[in-house]
Chain A
Amino acid sequence: MAQERTELNRNLAQMLKGGVIMDVTNTQQAKIAEEAGAVAVMALERVPADIRKQGGVARMSDPKMIREIQNAVSIPVMAKARIGHIVEAQILQALDIDYIDESEVLTPADDRYHIDKKAFRVPFVCGARNLGEALRRIAEGASMIRTKGEAGTGNVVEAVRHMRTMNEEIRRLQGMHREELAAFAKEIAAPLDLVEQTAELGRLPVVNFAAGGIATPADAALMMQLGCDGVFVGSGIFKSEDPARRARAIVKAAAFFDDAQVLAQVSEGLGEAMSGIELSQIPPQQRMAERGW
């Protein structure tokens, strides 16, 4: 039963492949996202750029707002729980959410442990900066992975770094003998069976999306060309000048990520992108990607 549930939850992520998941803070934005062709929406009260600006403790969103969004659209609805906050996750499960994001964008509730995701029926997506982190989350029960990137910056460099790191590690794995795999598993602190599975597949055993800093159709296509299965766009859409237009453009860019003609066309006249932040301007203690282990 548990095994079957894991499989079904991984399967839903497979159906999202090639798509764009958008952060929305109200029903109106959710409808714009759905009409633009989003494969799912992430319901949250403040997009990462505002969380970053306003500071304070960022928590799970108001269930009322989540319900309203669930009623407004027919595509899957995701919502965020704090790292390690078992009860926020239980509440989201009670709301019958389609996917829980155990997210570093919110303030962590537990500085040592992530949620035991196998104890839940609903699926989880988790952020990762490298292969070890991704496989630890999968071992805990995550059925989808995304890069952490650096949320709310409109700067794609961290997402690129995280995806490149995972790709490099997977390529290294593929050239290894079995005994080397065991040593590598120890080195990256990941379970051996998942390391072996990854080596055999040549990719993660679950769907892997890009997230954190994606602001333009070209950013989305870049992450797809690096091998991501799809993209999350957080602040990038509703912090831009013309959200509906940018949302449609990013959806098209994800589908035609390797066709420069289409990319040129959809990138035209989108208005101002969100204003971005150079990473060196963010002190280490304010970097969201450093949260979790």
Chain B
Amino acid sequence: MADKKIGVLALQGSVREHLDCLARTEGAEGFPVRTREELARAEALILPGGESTTLRTLLRTFDLEEPIRRRILEGMPVWGTCAGMILLAKEVDGAAAPLGVMDVSVRRNAYGRQSESFSTTQIVPEVSPDPLTLTFIRAPQAQRVWGDGRILCQTNGRITAVRQGHMLATAFHPELTDSTAFHRYFLSFLP
């Protein structure tokens, strides 16, 4: 079977880290997406970690916001890590959000500044039977999940991963770890 073509939005942030993980994930071929032509080739899309305000500005300037939104609504699997989660949520800090496709409300920098960044080890049953390292860098928190959204993971009583059909959002960064469990899990969203 041909490798699945997984695009990584390559405007800013942890692009290389996601591409490196995809290179280690069997059945996936990762490539950077910066244009509508590249987006058209993607069977699924990863929105990496980075600065959500920067990503949002660049998405808009280079006319990628609507095309990505449309592809997601048509069923293209999408996964946002940290800043990517913020892009996917319908509500961010009480206001309307960029792509606004997931039934989630998110609070940015919910843990505070860099001194509050942390990592922890946890089992996420749906993703892997093994304990995974979850790394939170100036991370957002999902505060409320409704509609078709389903809580996938909670960490210290906070919602840290949400799945909604073909859409996945994680407040942490699996791309910063050696494990490709989350990338394999995301790959399973594809037919």
Mark A residues whose CB is within 8 Å of B.
Answer: 4, 7-9, 11-12, 14-19, 34-40, 74-76, 93, 96-99, 121-123, 248, 251-252, 254-256
Contact = CB atoms under 8 A, between A and B. Distances in A.
A4 B14 contact: no
A18 B119 contact: no
Contacts of B12: 17-19, 39, 254-255
B16 A17 contact: yes
B54 A74 contact: no
Give the top 3 A-B pairs by smallest Cβ distance, nearest first.
A37-B57, A18-B12, A98-B114
A123 B137 CA distance: 12
Contacts of B62: 252, 255-256
A220 B38 CA distance: 24
Nearest to A123: B114
Contacts of B14: 14-15, 17
B13 interface: yes
Given A11-B135, A121-B115, A254-B12, 5 more contacts: A15-B13, A15-B137, A19-B12, A19-B54, A98-B113
A6 to B, nearest CB: 12
A241 B10 CA distance: 30
B69 to A, nearest CB: 19
B53 A37 contact: yes
A223 to B, nearest CB: 15
Contact of A74 (B108, B118, B135): B108
Nearest to B56: A37
B25 interface: no
Contact of B58 (A12, A14, A74, A251): A251
Nearest to A266: B61
Contacts of B16: 17
Interface in B49-65: 49-51, 53-54, 57-58, 61-62
B60 to A, nearest CB: 10
A74 B57 CA distance: 14
Nearest to B117: A8
B51 A19 contact: yes
Contacts of B117: 8-9, 11-12
B114 A12 contact: yes
A35 B138 CA distance: 19
16 contacts: A11-B117, A12-B114, A12-B137, A16-B50, A16-B51, A36-B57, A37-B58, A39-B50, A75-B54, A76-B138, A98-B113, A98-B138, A121-B115, A122-B114, A251-B57, A254-B12
B109 interface: yes
B176 interface: yes
B21 interface: no
A96 B113 CA distance: 7
Contacts of B113: 76, 96-98
B104 interface: no
Interface string B80-114: 00110000000000000000000000001100111
A258 to B, nearest CB: 10
Given A8-B118, A76-B114, A34 B53 contact: yes
A256 B35 CA distance: 10
A39 B51 CA distance: 6
A256 B118 contact: no
B125 to A, nearest CB: 25
B109 to A, nearest CB: 6
A37 B114 contact: no
A254 B15 CA distance: 14
Contacts of A9: 114, 117
Interface in B33-53: 34, 49-51, 53
B17 interface: yes
B176 A39 contact: no
A17 B115 contact: no
A164 to B, nearest CB: 21
B169 interface: no
Contacts of A17: 12-16, 50
Contacts of A38: 54
